[in-house]
Structure 1
Amino acid sequence: NGARLLLVGRDSLALEALARRHPGQISLVCADLTQRSGRHTVLDAARRFGGLNCVINAAGINQFSLLEQQDEEAIARLIDVNVTATLQLTHLLLPLLRQQPQALLVNLGSTFGSIGYPGFTAYCASKFALRGFSEALRRELADSHVKVLYIAPRATRTTMNSDDVVAMNNELQVEMDDPQEVARQIVHAIAAEREELYLGWPEKLFVRLNGLLPRLVDQALRKQLPVIKRFAGAEQPQPPTPQPNSTGEHP
């Protein structure tokens, strides 16, 4: 649609490869959002960019294992990337959004921000936090021209999911969405000025059930628990690999 993009990530080679596929449309910032210096690098780049009217917070890492198997440092790192850095970056960029006649903040959450799922305890905690942050900030900005959109995809075919997660999803017959389709629906939600978007069926139903009748979801997940534990036990906890961080968009 002709939008100019300011892409932020830690992997300079991946960013450069993406920019080559879209020449003239993308500006790049290589930064670690968990570091104050990295966040201010993004802020400086956004100012040079001419401001932002849309910020997409997509920073996220995952770890599939039982809580007792997880390393304390890995848990802290996950919360730092998925929650703390997102709030701190939003705090820095919000004044730039306020300078626009109309602006949007998009937070990329997860179905696991509404459903606590075994094997993903730390990840669920981070996404529950992001959902609460989005809701609170939306209400805080209700008298402004800055809107907040919370996106909750279900399982998606990306490198964020390990081989064990993919194998478990196959055995449990859990559908995994194509990332291009998820991106298409996000763009549509932005254009439609949605406040929330939950993707996938029956995951959307499970989100509602978990809010109204959580014991039914308890029973369903209890039946899946032996399979979840089998695959979670097969995966030795490793330091998580950060995914692309955030995107600023300007018309």
Structure 2
Amino acid sequence: MKSEFEIKAHDGPGRLGKLGNILTPNIIDENIYKIAEDESCAYNIEREIAEWSVRRTIDKAAEQKENCKIAIIQGSKYVDLRIHCAKKLENIGYNGLIIANGDDLILHPRDLVELIVTLRDNIKPSSYLIFPFAESSFIPLLSYLGIDGFLSGIDEYYSYLNVMMTPTKNYDLDVYQIEELGELSQKDLLNYNKHTINFVLKEVREHMKNGTLRNLVEERSVTSPQNISVLRMLDKNHQNYLEKYTQLY
């Protein structure tokens, strides 16, 4: 499977690209783009353990390069370790890089912004960044930051939790009784969530084509405190990053 990544256009830091036969941002199918085994590590952990995790992850990735297309960026909460890990993985030959601890990063907006911006400033443009298990309302903002892909299985994960995904909000169906839709089977919920994810990704790509992704991001920023915090910190602390890619009229 061809794994070269090509940037077609920028909309702010967001990248409209092509990976093999798919347009990005998009779902990255783990059955097609094999992921190298890593040494996972908690987010808020001592530096010595995080350093060990990075070393083991790099060693494992090197051993599996012949069979894998994607590797995982470890390093816990230490941005310098994340950069070190990403660059070593690139040197081995990986251009698909997953950001580990995505669920923790979403709960730490400042860390999330600093990490993605710093990664984008330090890794190759031809490397594509993947974020695991993002809520649909967070996908436009992550794409605007510079994320190119999202791991497959998001729809299954939330369906298993009995959570309905919409473009603006996730609904726990044990709490919110959406009567208009009636009783949803597990299969119905999975199909609904899959449709939502595909719609949001298509929506993001179309906004990129039209240069209006920022409008969509601002619209969705009110859907959660995390979205608002990330956008505010991006605007406040990283104007140079935004201006580097934003077209002037």
| Fold shared, TM-score > 0.5 on shorter chain | no
Higher RCO by CA contacts (8 Å cutoff, separation 6 or greater): 1
> TM-score when scaled to structure 2?
0.36
